[in-house]
Chains A and B, each alone.
Chain A
Amino acid sequence: MRKIYRVAEREFMETVKTRTFLLGLLFVPLIIGGIMVFGDKLAPRKDAPREPVRVRVTSASEPLSEKAKAVFEEYNKSHPSAPITFDITITSGAAAQEQGKKALREGRLDAYAAMEGDLEGKGGEVRLFTYKPRPSQVDALGTVERLLREAVINRRYETRGLDRKMLEEISRVSIQWAELGQEQGQERAQGQGQRMARMMVPFAFMYLIFMGIVGMGQHMISSIIEEKNSRIIEVLLSAVSPFEIMAGKIAGLAAVGLAVMALWGAAAYAAARWQDMQIDVGADLLVYGLIYYVLGFVLFSAILAGVGSICNTIKETQSLMMPIMLVFVIPMIAWPRLAQEPNGELARALSYVPPATPMVMVLRLSSGTEIWMGEVVLSFLVLIAGVLIATWAAAKVFRTGILMYGKRPGAGEIVRWLRER
Chain B
Amino acid sequence: MYAIELENVCKSFGAVRAVDELSVRVPQGCVYGFLGPNGAGKTTTLRMIMDIIRPDSGTIRLFGEPASSPARDRVGYMPEERGLYRKMTVTAVLNYFGSLKGMTAGQLRRRGGEWLHRVDLAEHAGKKVEELSRGMHQKLQFVVTVVNDPDLVILDEPFSGLDPVNQDMLREIISTMRREGKTVLFSTHGMHEAEQLCDFIVLIDRGKIVVNGTLDEIRSGHQANTITIELEGDAGFVQALPMVQAVKQDGRRLEVRLRGDADPQELLRVLVERARVRVFEIKQPSLHEIFVQLVGGGHAEDL
The answer to whether A102 has its CB under 8 Å from any CB of chain B is no
B-contact 0/1 string along A134-174, CB 8 Å cutoff = 00000000000000000000000000000000000000000
Q: Does B52 contact A403, Cβ atoms closer than 8 Å?
A: yes
The answer to whether B139 has its CB under 8 Å from any CB of chain A is no
A-contact 0/1 string along B100-122, CB 8 Å cutoff = 11100000000000000000000
Decide yes or no: A238 and B83 within 8 Å by CB, A3-B100, A6-B100, A403-B52 being known contacts. Answer: no
Q: Does B100 contact A240, Cβ atoms closer than 8 Å?
A: yes
Contact pick for B84, options A3, A232, A241, A403, CB 8 Å: A232
Contact pick for A235, options B53, B68, B72, B77, CB 8 Å: B77
Tell me the smallest distance from the CB of B48 to a CB of chain A, in Å.
12
Q: Does B100 contact A239, Cβ atoms closer than 8 Å?
A: yes
Q: Does B84 contact A230, Cβ atoms closer than 8 Å?
A: yes
Q: Which of B34-42, B85-93, B190-198 contacts A (4 or more CB under 8 A)?
A: B85-93
Please report the C-alpha to C-alpha distance between residue A10 and residue B87 in the assembled complex, in whole angstroms.
Answer: 12
The answer to whether B250 has its CB under 8 Å from any CB of chain A is no
Please report the C-alpha to C-alpha distance between residue A227 and residue B85 in the assembled complex, in whole angstroms.
Answer: 8
The answer to whether B82 has its CB under 8 Å from any CB of chain A is yes
The answer to whether B79 has its CB under 8 Å from any CB of chain A is yes
Closest to A18 in B: B87
The answer to whether B199 has its CB under 8 Å from any CB of chain A is no
Contact pick for B144, options A233, A235, A241, CB 8 Å: A235
B-contact 0/1 string along A218-245, CB 8 Å cutoff = 0000000011001111111111110000
Contact residues in A for B144 (Cβ distance below 8 Å): 235
Please report the C-alpha to C-alpha distance between residue A98 and residue B77 in the assembled complex, in whole angstroms.
Answer: 90
Q: Does A232 contact B73, Cβ atoms closer than 8 Å?
A: no
The answer to whether A276 has its CB under 8 Å from any CB of chain B is no
Contact residues in B for A230 (Cβ distance below 8 Å): 83-86
B-contact 0/1 string along A200-234, CB 8 Å cutoff = 00000000000000000000000000110011111
Tell me the smallest distance from the CB of B270 to a CB of chain A, in Å.
58
The answer to whether B302 has its CB under 8 Å from any CB of chain A is no
The answer to whether B266 has its CB under 8 Å from any CB of chain A is no
The answer to whether B2 has its CB under 8 Å from any CB of chain A is no
Q: Does A231 contact B52, Cβ atoms closer than 8 Å?
A: no
Q: Does B79 contact A231, Cβ atoms closer than 8 Å?
A: yes
Please report the C-alpha to C-alpha distance between residue A6 and residue B100 in the assembled complex, in whole angstroms.
Answer: 7
B-contact 0/1 string along A83-102, CB 8 Å cutoff = 00000000000000000000
Q: Does A6 contact B96, Cβ atoms closer than 8 Å?
A: yes
Among B51, B81, B102, residue most surrounded by chain A Cβ atoms (within 10 Å): B81
Please report the C-alpha to C-alpha distance between residue A353 and residue B117 in the assembled complex, in whole angstroms.
Answer: 57
Decide yes or no: A234 and B100 within 8 Å by CB, A14-B85, A239-B73 being known contacts. Answer: no
Tell me the smallest distance from the CB of B198 to a CB of chain A, in Å.
22
Q: Does A231 contact B81, Cβ atoms closer than 8 Å?
A: yes
Among A6, A233, A238, residue most surrounded by chain B Cβ atoms (within 10 Å): A238
Please report the C-alpha to C-alpha distance between residue A238 and residue B100 in the assembled complex, in whole angstroms.
Answer: 10
Contact residues in A for B87 (Cβ distance below 8 Å): 14, 17-18
Closest to B86 in A: A230
Please report the C-alpha to C-alpha distance between residue A308 and residue B141 in the assembled complex, in whole angstroms.
Answer: 25
Contact residues in A for B81 (Cβ distance below 8 Å): 231, 234
The answer to whether B303 has its CB under 8 Å from any CB of chain A is no
Closest to A3 in B: B100
The answer to whether B75 has its CB under 8 Å from any CB of chain A is yes
Tell me the smallest distance from the CB of A224 to a CB of chain B, in Å.
13
Decide yes or no: A236 and B53 within 8 Å by CB, A14-B87, A231-B79, A231-B82 being known contacts. Answer: no
Q: Does A238 contact B75, Cβ atoms closer than 8 Å?
A: yes
Closest to A242 in B: B52
Q: Does B101 contact A239, Cβ atoms closer than 8 Å?
A: yes
Tell me the smallest distance from the CB of B42 to a CB of chain A, in Å.
14
Please report the C-alpha to C-alpha distance between residue A18 and residue B85 in the assembled complex, in whole angstroms.
Answer: 13
Tell me the smallest distance from the CB of A223 to a CB of chain B, in Å.
10
The answer to whether B228 has its CB under 8 Å from any CB of chain A is no
Decide yes or no: A231 and B88 within 8 Å by CB, A237-B52, A238-B77 being known contacts. Answer: no
Decide yes or no: A14 and B83 within 8 Å by CB, A238-B52, A240-B100 being known contacts. Answer: no
Tell me the smallest distance from the CB of A310 to a CB of chain B, in Å.
15
Tell me the smallest distance from the CB of A3 to a CB of chain B, in Å.
6
A-contact 0/1 string along B60-88, CB 8 Å cutoff = 00000000100011010111011111111
Contact residues in B for A234 (Cβ distance below 8 Å): 47, 52, 79, 81, 83
Tell me the smallest distance from the CB of A412 to a CB of chain B, in Å.
11
Closest to B156 in A: A234
Closest to A228 in B: B83
Tell me the smallest distance from the CB of B185 to a CB of chain A, in Å.
13
Contact residues in A for B102 (Cβ distance below 8 Å): 2
The answer to whether B212 has its CB under 8 Å from any CB of chain A is no
Please report the C-alpha to C-alpha distance between residue A238 and residue B102 in the assembled complex, in whole angstroms.
Answer: 13
Among A17, A226, A234, residue most surrounded by chain B Cβ atoms (within 10 Å): A234
The answer to whether B166 has its CB under 8 Å from any CB of chain A is no
Please report the C-alpha to C-alpha distance between residue A346 and residue B101 in the assembled complex, in whole angstroms.
Answer: 50
Contact residues in A for B280 (Cβ distance below 8 Å): none
Given contacts A232-B84, A233-B83, A239-B73, 11 further A-B contacts (CB under 8 A): A6-B99, A6-B100, A230-B86, A235-B78, A235-B79, A235-B144, A235-B145, A237-B50, A238-B50, A238-B52, A238-B72
What are 12 A-to-B residue pairs whose CB atoms are below 8 Å?
A6-B99, A14-B85, A17-B87, A230-B85, A231-B79, A232-B84, A233-B83, A234-B81, A235-B78, A235-B144, A239-B100, A240-B100
Closest 8 CB pairs of A and B: A231-B83, A238-B77, A230-B83, A231-B81, A234-B79, A239-B100, A232-B83, A237-B52
